[in-house]
Amino acid sequence: MKSNSIKVIAPATVSNVGPGFDIMGFAINTPVEEMTVRISDKPGIRILKISGDKSGLPFDIKKNTAAVAVTKMLASLKLKIGVEIEIRKMIISGSGLGSSAASAVAAPVALNELLDRPFTKQELMEFALEGEKVASGSIHADNVAPCLFGGFILIRGYKPMDIIPLSYPKKLFCTVLHPQFAIKTSDARKLIRKNYPLKEVVAQAGNAGGLIAGLLKSDYDLIRRSMNDLIAEPARAKLIPGFYKIKEAALNAGAVGCSISGSGPAVFAFCTSENDAEKIGRVMKKISSEFVKKNMIYISNINSTGPRVIG
* Residues annotated as part of the active site: 132, 185
In the beta sheet, which residues pair with residue 275? none
Are 85 and 36 in contact by the 8 Å Cβ rule? The answer is: yes
Backbone phi, psi, residue 33, to 5°: -100, 135
Q: How many CB atoms lie within 10 A of CB 75?
A: 11
User: What is the maximum alpha-carbon separation in the chain?
Assistant: 60
Helix (H, G, I), strand (E, B) or coil at 34: strand
SS3 sequence of 189-254: HCCCCCCCCHHHHHHHHHHHHHHHHHHHHCCHHHHHHHCCCCCHHHHHHHHCCCHHHHHHHHHHCC
φ/ψ region of 239 (left if φ > 0, alpha if ψ in -120 to 50, else beta) reads: alpha
Contact predicate 30/13, CB 8 Å: no
Reference 193, options 240, 227, 150, 232; nearest CA is: 232
Using alpha carbons, select from 17, 282, 25, 294 the residue that is nearest to residue 146.
25
How large is the angle between the packed helices 243-252 and 274-288, nearest 10 degrees? 150
